[in-house]
Amino acid sequence: MIDQQKRTWTEINLENIEYNMNAVKAVLPQSCKYLGVVKGNAYGHGAPQVAHRLEKAGADYLAVANIDEAIELRKNGVALPILILGHTPPEFCGEIIANKLTQTITSEAKAVEYSQACEKYDVPMKVHIKVDTGMSRLGYLCTGRHFGGGVEGIVKSCRLPNLFVEGIYTHFSVADSDNENDKEFTEEQYRLFCAIIQSCEDNGVSFPIKHCANTGAVVNYPHMCLDMVRPGLSLYGYGGNGIISLKPVMKLITTVSTIKIFDPGIYISYGRKYQTESMSRIGVLGIGYADGLFRSLSNKCSFWTEDGFAEQRGTICMDMCMIDLNDKPNVKVGSQIEIFGDHSSLEKISEIAGTIPYELMCSITRRVPRIYIN
């Protein structure tokens, strides 16, 4: 056991990062670029480590949420192009240019601010235009009656000085859904995106890189891959929907700290939410909600042991939780317990928690060591 394995840790298989990227690339048109989404510390996996593996494996681009995440990658020696998906205040344009980053522009007003802020620099700032086609979040508003004004704003933005407009993109809100209404909504988002591009081209503005396909779109709508795709969830082993074979990258493992034998009728943990029905062998695990194990999972899930699945008992605490070891004779103090990984499905646990795999992976806190394999 290495020093990091004394309590709770994750194992990050970087070979599976490369495998998942190649599995997606195998279904793309030959000329289509691959952008790996590494925002949120690479969904909890460690952005520098994942980015370096993607760079080595032949990815074309990376995406992060903000300038701080982008600069962290540059400081760690990552040289790939990096797209900042969120807003950056104009006063930091110099850092964007100096670090050779690509900034998203989401409105004409912001484009004007960026253009003015970049007057003092010798090179233009590279940007991608973000279009709101129905996500109703960031982007030039182009839906319904806003189409003409939205296109006009994009065209004006692209003609501003001090900006190099490399790309245009939009984001789908339900591309992973198999609901028929959601399918039509996604197709409508795509039709609108194509109409915006065509209208811009009719006005003399073209874009070297057009992209809109997240994991759901790559899997369910291959005709939407265009010049580049932006898979997030599939990179980490989920969302293939049986169409693309993927491998989970992260395992979350903890250890048994203590084992106690309780009489019938004993309450376990905060709130007296669980009471033993018979003589019970209860193990205390060194993991809790301060590590990222949601309290909402209390008394609803089970974890993998060398003797099979063990039911979680009582309220999950900040640093600990308990499991039922009545029929697990081989599990002892120090035994390793898999919270999710090869045997215990992250998708199943996230469903029990009423959330998505993204949130659980991102919730694994920094006090949980990451151990990188290969």
Dihedral (Cα; 22, 27, 31, 37), 10-degree rounding: -50
Distance CA 170, CA 57 (A): 26
Verify whether residue 39 is a known catalytic residue.
yes
Phi, psi of 145 (to 5 degrees): -70, -10
Is the whole model's pTM more than 0.85, yes or no?
Answer: yes
- 14-236 with 250-373: one CATH topology? no
Verify whether residue 270 is a known catalytic residue.
yes
Beta strands in the chain (DSSP E): 8-13, 33-37, 61-64, 82-84, 102-105, 125-132, 140-141, 163-170, 209-213, 228-229, 250-262, 267-268, 274-275, 280-285, 302-305, 308-313, 321-324, 336-340, 370-373
Dihedral (Cα; 224, 225, 228, 230), 10-degree rounding: 90
- Per-residue model confidence (pLDDT) at position 85: 98
Low-confidence ranges of the chain (pLDDT < 50): none
Fold for the domain defined by 14-236: TIM Barrel (3.20.20)
The catalytic position among 270, 273, 332, 348 is: 270
What pLDDT, in 10s, does the model give residues 170-200? 999 999 999 999 999 999 999 999 999 999 9
Q: How many CB atoms lie within 10 A of CB 93?
A: 25
Phi, psi of 313 (to 5 degrees): -125, 135
> In the chain, where are the structural domains located?
14-236, 250-373
Distance CA 301, CA 312 (A): 6
The catalytic position among 33, 39, 210, 251 is: 39
- Per-residue model confidence (pLDDT) at position 1: 61
What superfamily does domain 250-373 belong to in CATH?
A: Lyase, Ornithine Decarboxylase; Chain A, domain 1 (2.40.37.10)
Beta strands in 149-249 (DSSP E): 163-170, 209-213, 228-229
- Per-residue model confidence (pLDDT) at position 40: 96
